[in-house]
C-alpha cells in the first residue's frame, strides 16, 4: 500500500469517527488463504474474508453494518427496532442480537413461509434472543407490514427505528460499514494491488460500500455481487437505486464518487428457482468448500454466491494468475432449516461419484 492510500484511509476513518456508532462486531475478521481450493481449481489464488465470524449470535455481515445503523438509531432516540423478512432471515437474527445487547426491544415480522415451521435455524435463534415476533402471511408485503407496525408504535408513544428493505437511511449506513471493511481487507493483503476481484452475496449495501472503498483507494478491483433473489422479489433494489445508495453513502462520508450503473456488476444468474430455494450449483459449492477448506456456507446466500465464483473460474473468466477474495457474509444457521435438501444433494452426489468410480 502506498502513502497516498494510507493517507486516504486515515482521512476517511477520521470522518467515520464523527458518525454515531455502537460496538458490536469482533473486528478485524480473519482473511483465510484457501490453498487446497486454489489447487483443486487450478488457480486463481482464492482468499476468504470471514465476515461470518463477526461474533454476536453466529455473526454475519449485518453485525458489522449494525454498528453504524444502530449507532444512528440510538443517536436519534430510538427505543425499539423494526425489521421483517423471511422466517430464516439472517438480518432479523443479527438485529435481534444487537437489540438484546443494546437493550432495545426488537420487533420482527417474519413471513409464515415454508421454513417457519418447525421453528429452527435463524427463526429459533430469533426467539432465544427475546425478539417480539409478529408473524405475517407468506404473501403479505413486508414493507407495508413494517409501516403499519411503525404507525401503531408511534401512536403508543414509542420511537421505532426501521431497518432492512424500504429503509433508505439504514441501507446507506450499512454501505458505509463496508467502506471500512474494504480498508480492513486491504490492510490484511500483502499487496492490495493484487486484489483483482471480490465476490460476495449482495442485495445492494455490501457491494456499494466495497465499490466506494475501491474507488477511494484507486483500485481497479472488480466487485461482483451475486444476488440471492430476482428482480420480481420485494427486496430487489433496481440498479439505479443501487447507484443512488452509493451516492447517499458517499455523502455520509463526505466524499465524492463517480460510480454509475456501468460500474456495478450485480449478477442474477445464480438465483436458481428463486429466493429461499437451494440450487444444485449452490449445494455443490457448499460441499466443495466444506470438503477442501472446512469452511461452511449457507444454501440461500453464500452458497449461491460462491457457486458464481467457482463457475467463473472453471469457465476461464478469471485468469489463473489473479487473486480473488470471497467475502463470506454468514448465514450459517439456515443450514439446519434446509437440512433435507442439503443432505439429499450430498448423498446423491456421493452416489453418482461412487457409481462413476466403479465404471
Question: Among all residues, which ones are annotated catalytic?
Answer: 89
End-to-end C-alpha distance for the chain, whole angstroms: 53
Using alpha carbons, list the distances in angstroms from residue 319 to 45, 48, 269, 281, 324.
10, 18, 21, 21, 10
**CA quadruple 319, 270, 167, 95: dihedral sign:** negative
- Residue 199 C-alpha cell reads as 465476490
Residue 5: other Cβ atoms inside 10 A? 18
233: DSSP letter: S
Q: 118 with 197: CB under 8 angstroms? A: no
DSSP string, 127-150: HHTT-EE--EETTS-HHHHHHHHH
Residue 345: other Cβ atoms inside 10 A? 20
Q: In a 10 Å sphere around its CB, with 0-12 CB exposed, 13-18 middle and 19+ buried, how is residue 160 labelled? A: buried
Alpha-carbon distance of 140 to 152, in angstroms, equals 18
Amino acid at each position: 500500500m502506498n502513502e497516498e492510500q494510507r493517507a486516504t484511509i486515515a482521512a476517511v476513518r477520521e470522518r467515520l469517527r464523527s458518525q454515531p456508532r455502537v460496538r458490536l462486531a469482533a473486528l478485524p475478521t480473519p482473511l483465510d488463504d484457501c490453498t487446497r481450493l486454489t489447487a483443486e481449481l487450478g488457480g486463481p489464488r482464492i482468499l476468504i474474508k470471514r465476515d461470518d465470524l463477526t461474533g454476536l449470535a453466529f455473526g454475519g455481515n449485518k453485525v458489522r453494518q449494525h454498528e453504524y445503523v444502530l449507532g444512528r438509531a440510538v443517536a436519534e432516540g430510538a427505543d425499539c427496532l423494526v425489521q421483517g423478512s423471511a422466517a430464516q432471515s439472517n438480518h432479523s437474527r443479527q438485529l435481534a442480537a444487537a437489540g438484546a445487547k443494546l437493550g432495545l426491544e426488537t420487533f420482527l415480522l417474519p413471513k409464515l413461509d415454508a421454513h417457519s415451521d418447525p421453528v429452527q435455524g435463524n427463526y429459533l435463534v430469533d426467539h432465544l434472543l427475546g425478539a417480539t415476533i409478529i408473524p405475517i402471511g407468506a404473501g403479505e408485503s413486508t414493507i407495508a407490514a413494517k409501516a403499519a407496525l411503525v404507525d401503531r408504535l408511534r401512536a403508543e408513544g414509542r420511537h421505532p427505528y426501521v431497518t432492512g428493505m424500504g429503509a433508505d437511511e439504514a441501507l446507506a449506513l450499512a454501505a458505509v460499514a463496508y467502506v471500512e471493511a474494504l480498508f480492513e481487507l486491504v490492510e490484511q493483503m500483502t499487496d492490495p494491488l493484487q486484489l483483482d476481484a471480490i465476490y460476495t452475496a449482495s442485495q445492494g449495501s455490501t457491494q456499494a460500500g466495497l465499490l466506494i472503498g475501491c474507488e477511494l483507494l484507486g483500485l481497479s478491483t472488480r466487485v461482483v455481487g451475486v444476488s440471492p433473489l430476482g428482480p420480481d422479489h420485494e427486496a430487489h433494489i433496481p440498479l439505479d437505486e443501487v447507484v443512488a445508495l452509493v451516492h447517499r453513502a458517499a455523502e455520509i462520508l463526505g466524499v465524492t464518487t463517480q460510480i454509475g450503473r456501468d460500474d456495478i456488476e450485480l449478477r442474477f444468474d445464480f438465483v436458481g428457482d428463486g429466493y429461499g430455494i437451494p440450487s444444485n450449483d449452490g449445494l455443490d459449492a457448499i460441499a466443495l468448500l466444506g470438503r477442501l477448506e472446512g469452511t461452511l456456507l449457507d444454501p440461500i446466500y453464500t452458497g449461491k454466491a460462491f457457486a458464481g465464483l467457482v463457475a467463473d473460474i472453471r469457465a476461464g473468466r478469471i485468469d489463473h494468475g489473479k487473486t480473488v477474495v470471497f467475502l463470506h457474509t454468514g448465514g450459517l444457521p439456515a443450514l439446519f432449516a434446509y437440512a433435507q435438501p442439503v443432505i439429499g444433494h450430498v448423498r446423491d452426489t456421493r452416489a453418482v461419484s461412487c457409481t462413476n468410480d466403479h465404471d
